């Protein structure tokens, strides 16, 4: 395949979201990897949480994992609701609450309890994982992008606060 046709194939799936049931291993994992390589955002749905999270860690920020048992109709019906759609027109409050709750509130709560221990000791380190979507637009959902941008600002403000206590910057 020539470089030009390879780039065309990559762009063909840019901005698309794929849901791969049973995607934690085997053919499903290979499929998720292939779709991701061609520009799609891969949602891996499975009941094998450890394998699913490991695959997402391997694939990076253009993939996510959701625990779903496809033998349960309610789990399947909720699968599309848990998928990070790209358009603001398709965003729902429930989806925003879930994404911001996990990404931002989780970071805030973790930092709060880490600082509770770090401040009296005058040191420590909190690491956050943001995303390149904080600097490059258009490849992640709006709620996800907003939550990751907020994490960058949270890290800055926490560094200033920790600095007041003689902590590392």
**H or E segment to which residue 64 belongs:** strand 63-67
Instruction: Answer yes or no: 148 catalytic.
Output: yes
Catalytic residue (choose from 36, 64, 65, 148): 148
CB atoms within 10 A of CB 8: 11
Instruction: Answer yes or no: 144 catalytic.
Output: yes
CB atoms within 10 A of CB 11: 11
Distance, in Å, from the CA atom of 62 to the CA atom of 76, rounded to the nearest integer, reads: 21
Instruction: Answer yes or no: 34 catalytic.
Output: no
Return the bridge partners of 18, or none: 42
Catalytic residue (choose from 24, 65, 144, 147): 144
Catalytic residue (choose from 24, 131, 141, 147): 131
Which amino acids are annotated catalytic? 131, 144, 148
């Amino acid at each position: 395949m020539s470089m030009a046709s390879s780039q065309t194939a990559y762009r063909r799936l840019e901005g698309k979201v794929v849901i791969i049931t049973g995607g934690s291993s085997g053919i499903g994992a290979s499929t998720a990897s292939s779709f991701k390589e061609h520009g799609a955002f891969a949602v891996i749905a499975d009941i094998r949480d450890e394998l699913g999270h490991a695959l997402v860690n391997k694939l990076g920020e253009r993939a996510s994992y959701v625990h779903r048992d496809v033998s349960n109709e309610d789990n399947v019906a909720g699968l599309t609701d848990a998928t990070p759609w790209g358009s603001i027109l398709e965003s729902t409050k429930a989806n925003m609450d879930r994404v911001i709750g996990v990404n931002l509130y989780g970071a805030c709560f973790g930092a709060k309890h880490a600082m509770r221990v770090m401040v009296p000791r005058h040191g420590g380190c909190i690491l956050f994982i943001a995303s390149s979507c904080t600097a490059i637009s258009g490849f992640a959902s709006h709620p996800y992008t907003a939550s990751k941008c907020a994490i960058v600002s949270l890290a800055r403000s926490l560094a200033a606060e920790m600095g007041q206590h003689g902590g590392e910057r």
